[in-house]
Chain A
């Protein structure tokens, strides 16, 4: 390990459907400004590469996931010849399963991660959520996994016609007509593969809980928000801190049952009005794009995850987030230079800050 560890972060695009990587970098630098952070990107135009303040010290292009696992590991080894990073924080859904299943490969390379165990990871998959929720007595919308168009329509009819069509790993579309369902089904199948999930629609407000599991069944800290200003695709571009013991209890039960290690985001929906029950929509096995918001309130979970990963003593105590604090996403234009783009495109590498020379 480097005397001061080098951290690699993925998921650096913050355009439409923002990815979490830049927020993770910003949070880490709040507590550990001296850290060297490198970005691993799949596209040379990932906006976080060009963001003053949040940009990584260096960036490297990874092969597309379609190139297969061998290409990924070969490229990772080649990158580590140039920048021997010590910690990897994956921030994209598609990366999670292969990395969770590759603990031995990571360990043999000396790469530290804060990932759940494979059993925990698989138990929270969308297709198995009903089983998990039954165990912890948490409501969840009825969900049916389908592999063909006939089953899609049959499932939609069973669930009242007005359903969400969801990708195996990511994305969801509200579909109210047969045409919309089929279009969403084909898109999900093409992008994320089988099965596609058809989920009952429960109308109401969405609540998200971001937290960090210690791997022994406890939540190190968490922040709950009510989504504000949802986009047409249902993504929240604002959130308001709430504190509801019922929500905290459900989160604690789920994480205890999974013995979850690492960051998580629980997504719930609750009908409007008093006493509405929370129904679990999904469990994301990573930091969400809004993870720097709690950090700005003193609940820095990316920093806590790093400390947990490396066995460090916390540099700053985690504070509870005060209800009523909110964030609103604000889009601004990043600027870049064609020379940076050229370096990324031709060499797969962009160096902003040279690495420290080690004795």
Chain B
């Protein structure tokens, strides 16, 4: 029987966002500029959610569900993280 929906990519699969190739282990490489980045698990979860065009509220839901953090703290951390991404030209305008 054919599958009814495409399977979700494995959690450790790589993805591309704003010109940066992110590996499942949190290592990012911008092939045009030669910049390298590392993302911790929370940052990687947020980047992956951005890639999937999730809303800010959905991203916060995912962070709170995955990590031991209050929504208030997660909101504050997300704000800081988005500012950091913007500094490197990696922010998703719709999310930031």
Contact = CB atoms under 8 A, between A and B. Distances in A.
B32 A243 contact: yes
Interface residues of B, number: 9
Interface string A195-231: 0000000000101000000000000000001100000
Query: In terms of DSSP, what is the predominant structure of the interface of chain B?
Result: loop
A244 interface: yes
B32 A273 contact: no
Interface of A: 205, 207, 225-226, 240, 242-247, 270, 273-276, 323-324
B89 A275 contact: yes
A205 B88 contact: no
A274 B89 CA distance: 5
Contacts of B89: 273-275
Contacts of A226: 33-34
Contacts of A245: 32
B29 A323 contact: yes
A113 to B, nearest CB: 33
Contacts of B11: none
A243 to B, nearest CB: 5
Nearest to B31: A323
Nearest to A276: B33
Nearest to A239: B34
Given A323-B29, A324-B29, A274 B34 contact: no
Interface string B16-58: 0000000000000101111000000000000000000000000
Contact of A273 (B29, B34, B88): B88
Contact of A244 (B32, B87, B88): B32
14 contacts: A205-B33, A207-B34, A225-B34, A226-B33, A226-B34, A242-B34, A244-B31, A273-B87, A273-B88, A274-B33, A274-B89, A323-B31, A323-B34, A324-B29
Given A244-B31, A274-B33, A323-B32, 4 more contacts: A225-B34, A242-B32, A244-B32, A270-B33
A226 B33 CA distance: 8
List of 9 A-B pairs having minimum Cβ-Cβ separation, nearest first = A274-B89, A226-B34, A323-B31, A244-B32, A242-B34, A240-B34, A243-B31, A324-B29, A242-B32
Contacts of A205: 33-34
B31 A242 contact: yes
A273 B32 CA distance: 12
A240 B87 CA distance: 23
A244 B33 contact: yes
Nearest to B29: A324
Contacts of A276: 33
